[in-house]
Amino acid sequence: MVVMITPVAFETIKYHTYTIFAVINFAIFPIVYLFFPETRYRSLEEMDMIFKKSTNVFNVVPISIKEPFMYDKHGNKKQEFLEAGMNRRNGSVAAQLAANEKSEKAAAAGRDSSSGNSEERKEIV
């Protein structure tokens, strides 16, 4: 679209075409500064969390400033996030083991009650 408008603009308003482009460039700078979060040293998962926490376009940048970085400048995961991941992983494993134990107990109780019912059925028949 710019390619189609520029020749016509130069014919009609001459050098003021440059003024229009300069105004657009100056308007873009605060828009990028205010509405685009910094993505340096951030993974896609971190950016996803930042955008999920935001409620509108005006608070994305403040949220990204407050959020800690998960990775250092060399791409290595920081120690506090490694420990948190291990705790979360260990917690989920413990929860799975507890759930398995409960289901095994429930299955054992079900087998005990079902075997009792079959004996009762045999007696009735």
CB-facing half-sphere around the CA of 76: CA atoms within 13 A: 4
In single-letter form, the type of residue at position 34 comes to L
In single-letter form, the type of residue at position 45 comes to E
DSSP label of 77: B
Residue 11: pLDDT band by 50, 70, 90 thresholds? very high
- Computed over every residue of the chain, the mean pLDDT equals 83
Distance from C-alpha of 54 to C-alpha of 61, rounded to nearest angstrom? 9
Backbone φ and ψ for 35, nearest 5 degrees, come out as: -115, -10
Residue 93 has what pLDDT? 56
pLDDT > 90? residue 8 = yes
